[in-house]
């Protein structure tokens, strides 16, 4: 193990340019400092200092050691402040589970007001519905956002509210979203490359029913669990994709995307699930206040 006391004495000698000035700064005998620097050199196996006039200068190895010591002890000087700040500031921890079947763009919109909380420590877990419910029941999560309500299981003691009922819009790049394609929507989805949520998504099931009702055989070129990732691929020209109108607010982050058409009879639901203890969390209440329910046209 590196002896950091020896390293500190070497660092002071290097900053002061000599053993005498270092001894004066440290209030120690020159011989003591010199002996401990020699111990450091022996432990590293290289000479770090060499005489120069009435003082010393760094060798090539010494310059490398000094640079590392400079970084180490600058961090050490910050340590008391950082520890005091961590011990005295009030961190607001908020653990949220995101079911992998919901639109992450819409989930981000629901969490938007929470992100302004001072000293927020947000932890987001993405996963399948049942494992997230287990984590919620064990109080490892404060809230779960999912595409379905909590099951009627008295042992879980979970509560849920429907926060989002949002119609679905379709977006794509200018290569696909032309006046002609807009006029032929939704029939154009049989010809345009289409990106969809994966099969386990509640939204995918609703879209499949809608395709059947409209007699559309979509030209599916990609399937995604994450709507945000789907929007990135769409913005790069892979195809057109569906997103809830609430999540569509974040589509503006991809300026190359344009609105292709509306499907007001297809909606995405997002439910907020929590346990009874978590219901007292102030940020849970803040999310619950963000209801976005729009009736189909």
When pLDDT is cut at 50, 70 and 90, the band that residue 190 belongs to is very high
pLDDT, position 293: 63
When pLDDT is cut at 50, 70 and 90, the band that residue 291 belongs to is confident
How deeply is 39 buried, as exposed, middle or buried, from its count of CB atoms within 10 A (0-12, 13-18, 19+)? middle
Q: Per CATH, is 4-88 categorized as 1.10.287.130?
A: no
Q: Where in the chain is the domain with CATH 3.40.190.10?
A: 92-161+272-291, 165-270
pLDDT, position 296: 45
When pLDDT is cut at 50, 70 and 90, the band that residue 208 belongs to is very high
| Distance from C-alpha of 111 to C-alpha of 109, rounded to nearest angstrom | 5
Mention every residue, 6+ apart, whose C-beta is less than 8 A from residue 245: 166, 167, 168, 169, 294
Question: Is the CB of residue 163 less than 8 Å from the CB of residue 291?
Answer: yes
Architecture of the CATH domain 92-161+272-291: 3-Layer(aba) Sandwich (3.40)
pLDDT, position 91: 81
pLDDT, position 294: 57
Q: Where in the chain is the domain with CATH 1.10.10.10?
A: 4-88
CATH code for the part of the protein at 165-270: 3.40.190.10
Residue 234 has pLDDT above 90, yes or no: yes
Helix, strand or coil for residue 235?
helix
| ∠ Cα 91 277 130 (to 5°) | 100
Sign of the four-CA dihedral 153, 158, 163, 168: negative
Q: Bigger pLDDT: 196 or 245?
A: 196
Residue 51 has pLDDT above 50, yes or no: yes
Question: Ranked by mean pLDDT, which of 92-96, 155-159, 219-223 comes out on top?
Answer: 219-223
DSSP state of 46: S
When pLDDT is cut at 50, 70 and 90, the band that residue 33 belongs to is very high
Question: Is the CB of residue 243 less than 8 Å from the CB of residue 180?
Answer: no
Mean pLDDT of 132-141: 90
pLDDT, position 276: 81
Mean pLDDT of 12-41: 93
Mean pLDDT of 163-174: 92
- Tell me what percent of the residues of the chain surpass a pLDDT of 90: 57
Mean pLDDT of 197-221: 92
Q: Bigger pLDDT: 162 or 296?
A: 162
Mean pLDDT of the chain: 89
249, 252, 218, 221: which is closest to 235 by C-alpha? Answer: 252
pTM for the full predicted model = 0.62
């Amino acid at each position: 193990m590196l002896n950091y006391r020896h390293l500190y004495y070497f660092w002071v000698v290097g900053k002061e340019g000599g053993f005498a000035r270092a001894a004066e700064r440290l209030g120690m005998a020159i011989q003591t400092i010199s002996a401990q620097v020699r111990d450091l050199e022996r432990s590293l196996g290289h000479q770090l200092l060499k005489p120069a006039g009435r003082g010393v200068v760094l060798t090539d190895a010494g310059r490398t050691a000094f640079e590392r010591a400079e970084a180490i002890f600058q961090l050490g000087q910050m340590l008391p402040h950082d520890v005091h700040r961590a011990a005295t500031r009030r961190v607001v921890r908020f653990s949220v589970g995101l079911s992998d079947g919901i639109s992450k763009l819409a989930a981000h919109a629901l969490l938007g007001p929470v992100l302004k909380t001072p000293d927020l420590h947000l932890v987001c877990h993405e996963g399948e519905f049942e494992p997230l419910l287990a984590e919620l029941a064990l109080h490892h999560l404060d809230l779960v956002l999912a595409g379905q309500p909590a099951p009627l299981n008295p042992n879980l003691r979970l509560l849920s509210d429907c926060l989002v009922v949002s119609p679905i819009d379709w977006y794509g790049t200018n290569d696909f979203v032309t006046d002609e394609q807009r006029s032929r929507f939704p029939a154009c989805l049989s010809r345009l490359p289409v990106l969809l949520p994966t099969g386990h998504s509640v939204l995918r099931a609703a879209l499949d029913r809608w395709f059947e009702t409209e007699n559309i055989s979509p030209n599916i070129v990609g399937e995604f669990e994450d709507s945000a990732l789907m929007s990135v691929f769409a913005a790069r020209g892979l195809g057109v994709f569906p997103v809830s109108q609430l999540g569509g607010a974040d589509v503006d982050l991809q300026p190359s995307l344009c609105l292709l058409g509306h499907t007001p009879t297809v909606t995405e639901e997002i439910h907020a699930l929590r346990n009874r203890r978590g219901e007292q969390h102030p940020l849970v209440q803040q999310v619950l206040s963000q209801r976005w329910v729009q009736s189909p046209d």
